[in-house]
DNA sequence: GTCGTTGGCATTTTT
DNA sequence: TGCCAACGAC
């Protein structure tokens, strides 16, 4: 096996990114520039050229999917299974390290990893002495505050008073400390702790750090732009070795940083050269995915952001000429969905695979409209995202049963299942249980046994709880004798859990049973139940069933890293995209992140990108007028084609009042926009209309298709405020108003 | 303790 | 508009 063969068919930049093995290296990899290929080939290159043994390379990703893909591709390159590598997600790798040194942070190596439900249950307990008004300070928000601190590498003692920003009346820091104490008592970690604890250990135990410095000769990091502060600290601790070069290679794209709200710090990538002196930077700019038009449109858009490291995607393919990016204006969100479906239909007739089309939305609520239409059109689709496999209630329940099986003092799990199926244990009984457990200084399960003996339960609930405890002890014996698959089957059966779903008449019950079957099937792939649970808490994700011929509907965030022949990008309207909330909370930074999200969206497309916006959108209960997104104006004209145009911001002034006595009679039939005019090609008829249009002024009576008649309260450029008779005062676009002649 | 009703509410979510 | 959570009635 020669190294050379792997370096063939790489462009010079990719080659440089692979062959520059020594010293810090930042690979700025634009969308579709062969990032994964570089990462995996680099890994293989280091191995095959004898620079390091497999276990001396640390390779970090964010998602399990990325880790899996990398592992597979490395296997293919080196011609053997890639096992025993330090390759995985930040969290999985940290968990692995933490199991080795858990005692330094007051845990044992068998610590439990909590899911979000557990966290909530725990914080609920912890917060009690503070008598927090949970209406004002919802607990998930409190957990969010704590999580942000953990993202930044702040243990409770590192949180300053000023940081305690007032959530929960300034008690957040104290609650955080108490929460951490409880976790320790339970020998448990939440996700944030996996990073936080190991960083704390590396910070305070030079001997441990030294151990890893000797171990890891090379570090590879994927999606560096998405790292948060703890992750950055962890990498920096590991990479900066005394008297040796920092062989850290970070691959990322500052233009695709879209997770700041989860604690990601774009600054990490922007600062790379300062953090790692002598760093080299390689830019991958040749895009092998998209047509020149798509790249041009995306480049024009992202150029509006400041503070970029700077990178311009160039078409890398010969056949890169293609269609312009289409911008479609529609009357309302229904028409938008209909339009997309019709286009999908047309493409399908022309033999385009449905699996190669995607509808990428800004927010989850947008999917519903598409779902309905797709059903109506009979187009197979799948909603990607939503609840992942292990987040489903039945899976969590089953896992909780398993956790109690191998660990009778796992109170969080026990609390979850003690009354599922119903065993007559409500809040009162639960409180009694907690009291008993506290008194005996034992777990809840033991408290149940104790109360059963002392007649603490009556009637049916006594019977059922006794039976539950018997099932657990019985299946624990089975576990030893016949293994975990048999034991778990027995447990779920005898506890009545499966029966509960069989008796459930709701339409999703069969699906849930199917999921449970799937879960039990997966058990067999693991040697022990403990291994399985570890895997599940860190790694298990919905491995989508083989790529079917379905249109994908997902959020822009969810689409990162994917590509499709055709991408539909609906809802490009001010307030929706860019999202009003981001604008309010994040200001200019927020806007830039939204723009990056738009950039991510466009660059998912290989051949066709279709952007849509609607003039009127139903959000929850009511219709809202919406302006075209400013991003539409930022797309360079030479790469786009506008159709069914409503005025964009740029020409709103010219067009306002434009349609007074007209026009949009057949909004229902037409998937075209209400306005027939095409940009920059205003016909004489239209000009005529424009000139003769009565002015919309304050006090004028107007009519609006959706809101009926009303009186203009204020008029300002395109946006006009109208007091409607039926629906109150609203801001609407004046081009949708007809002036009523008295 | 369970069931039904009401009222608040509603981005993005790699682990 | 539709969902979930918290509360009140049996």
Note the pLDDT tens digit of each residue in A383-399: 888 778 888 889 999 99
Question: Is A29 annotated as a binding-site member?
Answer: yes
Which nucleotide does the CA of A386 lie closest to, via C1'?
Answer: B13
Question: Is A204 annotated as a binding-site member?
Answer: no
Between helix A35-48 and helix A64-78 the angle, nearest 10°, is 50
Which nucleotide does the CA of A424 lie closest to, via C1'?
Answer: B1
Find the mean pLDDT for residues A119-137: 84
pTM assigned to the model: 0.84
pLDDT confidence of residue A611 = 97
Characterise A535 by phi-psi region: left (phi > 0), alpha (psi -120 to 50), beta (else): alpha
Strands, E, within A362-514: which ranges? 381-383
| A694 has a pLDDT exceeding 70 | no
Which nucleotide does the CA of A66 lie closest to, via C1'?
Answer: B14
A287: enclosing H helix or E strand: strand A286-287
CA of A532 to C1' of B4 (A): 40
Question: Is A36 annotated as a binding-site member?
Answer: yes
Torsion over CA: A242, A245, A247, A248 (sign): positive
Q: What percent of chain A has pLDDT over 90?
A: 59
Which nucleotide does the CA of A620 lie closest to, via C1'?
Answer: C1
Residue A210: CB atoms within 10 A of its CB come to: 13
pLDDT confidence of residue A681 = 28
Q: Which residue minimizes Cα–C1' distance to C5? A: A135
CA of A368 to C1' of C3 (A): 14
pLDDT confidence of residue A245 = 87
In this structure, chain A runs to a length of: 742
| A690 has a pLDDT exceeding 50 | no
Q: Which residue minimizes Cα–C1' distance to B10? A: A620
CA distances, A19 to each of A5, A75, A273, A418, A599 (Å): 13, 19, 19, 57, 30
| A461 has a pLDDT exceeding 60 | yes
Give the SS3 label for residue A213. helix
| pLDDT-derived band at A735, boundaries 50, 70, 90 | low
| A648 has a pLDDT exceeding 50 | no
Bigger pLDDT: A525 vs A740:
A525
Question: Is A66 annotated as a binding-site member?
Answer: no
pLDDT confidence of residue A319 = 66
| pLDDT-derived band at A717, boundaries 50, 70, 90 | low
The DSSP call for residue A285 is -
Q: What is the pLDDT of residues A24-79, one digit of tens each?
A: 999 999 999 999 999 999 999 999 999 999 999 999 999 999 999 999 999 988 88
| A703 has a pLDDT exceeding 60 | yes
Q: Which residue minimizes Cα–C1' distance to B9? A: A620
Catalytic machinery residues of A: 35-36, 222-223, 256, 604
CA of A79 to C1' of B11 (A): 44
Q: Which of A258, A201, A128 is nearest to A561 (CA)?
A: A258
| pLDDT-derived band at A546, boundaries 50, 70, 90 | low
What protein residues sit with their CB closer than 7 Å to strand C?
A: A 134, 620-621
Find the mean pLDDT for residues A693-701: 67
| pLDDT-derived band at A705, boundaries 50, 70, 90 | low
CA of A393 to C1' of C4 (A): 15
CA of A620 to C1' of B6 (A): 18
CA of A462 to C1' of C9 (A): 26
pLDDT confidence of residue A678 = 29
**Terminal Cα-to-Cα distance of chain A (whole angstroms):** 87
pLDDT confidence of residue A736 = 62
| pLDDT-derived band at A569, boundaries 50, 70, 90 | very high
Question: Is A174 annotated as a binding-site member?
Answer: no
Residue A429: CB atoms within 10 A of its CB come to: 19
* Main-chain phi, psi angles of A197, to 5 degrees: -65, -45
| pLDDT-derived band at A668, boundaries 50, 70, 90 | very low
| A660 has a pLDDT exceeding 60 | no
CA of A644 to C1' of C4 (A): 40
Bigger pLDDT: A300 vs A8:
A300
| A646 has a pLDDT exceeding 70 | no
Are residues A408 and A394 in contact, defined by beta-carbon separation less than 8 angstroms?
Answer: no
Q: What percent of chain A has pLDDT over 70?
A: 87
Find the mean pLDDT for residues A637-663: 53
Find the mean pLDDT for residues A83-99: 94
Question: Is A79 annotated as a binding-site member?
Answer: no
The DSSP call for residue A724 is E
pLDDT confidence of residue A226 = 95
Task: Render the burial of A511-522: b for 16+ CB within 10 Å, e for the rest.
Answer: ebeebbeebeee
Q: Which residue minimizes Cα–C1' distance to B11? A: A363
CA of A522 to C1' of B13 (A): 25
Q: What is the pLDDT of residues A325-371, one digit of tens each?
A: 999 999 889 999 999 999 999 999 999 999 999 999 999 999 999 99
**Token digits of residue A99:** 């199991």
Q: Which residue minimizes Cα–C1' distance to B13? A: A262
Which nucleotide does the CA of A138 lie closest to, via C1'?
Answer: C5
| A670 has a pLDDT exceeding 50 | no
Bigger pLDDT: A164 vs A208:
A208
| A307 has a pLDDT exceeding 90 | no
pLDDT confidence of residue A689 = 32
pLDDT confidence of residue A134 = 77
CA of A459 to C1' of B1 (A): 13
pLDDT confidence of residue A322 = 87
Bigger pLDDT: A345 vs A738:
A345
**Dist. CA A198–CA A201, nearest whole Å:** 5
CA of A620 to C1' of B7 (A): 16
Find the mean pLDDT for residues A262-275: 93
pLDDT confidence of residue A599 = 97
Q: Which of A249, A246, A250 is nearest to A223 (CA)?
A: A250
Q: Which of A493, A474, A470 is nearest to A482 (CA)?
A: A474
A480: enclosing H helix or E strand: helix A459-482
Average per-residue pLDDT for chain A: 85
| A305 has a pLDDT exceeding 70 | yes
Bigger pLDDT: A170 vs A66:
A66
| A682 has a pLDDT exceeding 60 | no
Q: Strand C: which positions are within 7 A of a protein CB?
A: 1-2, 6
Q: Strand B: which positions are within 7 A of a protein CB?
A: 1-3, 10-15
| A374 has a pLDDT exceeding 80 | yes
| pLDDT-derived band at A586, boundaries 50, 70, 90 | confident
Question: Is A30 annotated as a binding-site member?
Answer: yes
Q: What is the pLDDT of residues A281-295, one digit of tens each?
A: 999 999 999 999 999
Question: Is A35 annotated as a binding-site member?
Answer: yes
pLDDT confidence of residue A542 = 60
Find the mean pLDDT for residues A121-135: 83
pLDDT confidence of residue A708 = 67
**Token digits of residue A175:** 């609650």
Which nucleotide does the CA of A139 lie closest to, via C1'?
Answer: C5
| A237 has a pLDDT exceeding 90 | yes
């Amino acid at each position: 096996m020669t190294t050379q063969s792997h370096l063939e068919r790489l462009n010079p930049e990719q080659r440089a990114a692979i062959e520059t093995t020594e010293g810090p290296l930042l690979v700025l990899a634009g969308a579709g520039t062969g990032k994964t290929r570089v990462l995996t080939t680099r890994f293989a290159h280091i191995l095959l050229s004898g620079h390091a043994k497999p276990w001396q390379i640390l390779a970090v990703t964010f998602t399990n999917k990325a880790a899996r893909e990398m592992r597979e591709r490395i296997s293919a390159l080196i011609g053997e299974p890639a096992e025993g590598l330090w390759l995985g997600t930040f969290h999985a790798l940290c968990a692995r390290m933490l199991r080795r040194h858990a005692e330094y942070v007051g845990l044992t190596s068998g610590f439990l990893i909590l899911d979000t439900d557990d966290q909530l249950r725990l914080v609920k307990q912890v917060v009690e002495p503070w008598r927090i008004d949970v209406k004002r300070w919802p607990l998930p928000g409190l957990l969010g505050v704590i999580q942000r601190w953990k993202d930044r590498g702040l243990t409770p003692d590192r949180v300053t008073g000023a940081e305690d920003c007032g959530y929960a009346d300034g008690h957040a820091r104290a609650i955080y400390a108490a929460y951490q104490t409880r976790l320790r008592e339970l020998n448990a970690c939440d996700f944030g702790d996996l990073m936080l604890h190991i960083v704390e250990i590396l910070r305070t135990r030079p001997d441990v750090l030294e151990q890893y410095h000797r171990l890891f000769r090379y570090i590879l990091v994927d999606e560096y732009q998405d790292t948060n502060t703890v992750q950055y600290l962890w990498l920096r601790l590991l990479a900066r070795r005394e008297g040796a070069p920092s062989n850290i290679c970070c691959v990322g794209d500052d233009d695709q940083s879209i997770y700041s709200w989860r604690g990601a710090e774009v600054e990490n990538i922007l600062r790379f050269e300062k953090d790692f002196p002598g760093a080299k930077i390689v830019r991958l700019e040749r895009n092998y995915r998209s047509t020149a038009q798509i790249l041009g449109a995306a480049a024009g858009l992202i150029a509006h952001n400041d503070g970029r490291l700077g990178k311009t995607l160039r078409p890398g393919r010969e056949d890169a000429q293609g269609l312009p990016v289409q911008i479609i204006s529609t009357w309302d969100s229904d028409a938008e969905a209909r339009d997309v479906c019709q286009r999908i239909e047309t493409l399908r007739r022309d033999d385009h695979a449905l699996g190669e089309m995607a509808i990428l939305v800004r927010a989850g609520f947008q999917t519903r409209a598409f779902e309905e239409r797709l059903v109506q059109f009979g187009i197979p689709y799948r909603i990607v995202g939503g609840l992942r496999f292990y987040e489903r209630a039945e899976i969590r329940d089953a896992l909780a049963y398993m956790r109690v099986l191998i660990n009778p003092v796992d109170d969080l799990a026990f609390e979850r299942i003690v009354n599922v199926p119903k065993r007559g244990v409500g809040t009162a009984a639960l409180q009694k249980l907690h009291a008993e457990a506290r008194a005996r200084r034992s777990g809840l399960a033991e408290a149940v046994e104790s109360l059963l003996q002392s007649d603490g339960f009556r009637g049916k609930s006594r019977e059922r709880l006794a039976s539950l405890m018997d099932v657990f002890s019985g299946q624990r014996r089975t576990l030893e004798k016949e293994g975990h698959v048999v034991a778990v089957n027995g447990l779920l059966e005898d506890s009545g859990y499966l029966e509960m779903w069989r008796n459930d008449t709701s339409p999703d019950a069969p699906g849930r049973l199917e999921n449970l079957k799937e879960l039990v099937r997966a058990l067999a792939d693991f040697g022990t139940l403990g291994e399985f649970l570890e895997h599940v808490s860190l790694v298990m994700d919905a491995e989508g069933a083989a790529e079917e011929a379905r249109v994908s509907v997902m959020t822009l965030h969810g689409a990162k890293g994917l590509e499709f022949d055709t991408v539909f990008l609906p809802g490009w309207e001010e307030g929706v995209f860019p999202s009003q909330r981001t604008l309010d909370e994040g200001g200019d930074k927020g806007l830039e992140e939204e723009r990056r999200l738009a950039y991510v969206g466009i660059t998912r497309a290989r051949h066709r990108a279709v952007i849509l916006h609607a003039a009127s959108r139903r959000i929850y209960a009511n219709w809202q007028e919406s302006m075209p997104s400013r991003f539409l104006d930022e797309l360079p004209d030479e790469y786009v084609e506008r159709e069914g145009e409503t005025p964009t911001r740029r020409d709103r002034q010219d067009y306002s009042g434009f349609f007074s006595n007209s026009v949009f009679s057949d909004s229902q039939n037409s998937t075209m926009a209400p306005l027939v005019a095409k940009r920059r090609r205003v016909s004489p008829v239209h000009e005529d209309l424009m000139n003769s249009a009565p002015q919309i002024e304050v006090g004028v009576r107007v009519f609006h298709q959706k809101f009926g008649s009303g009186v203009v309260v204020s008029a300002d450029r395109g946006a006009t405020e109208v007091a409607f008779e039926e629906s109150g005062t609203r801001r609407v676009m004046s081009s949708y108003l007809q002036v009523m002649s008295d």
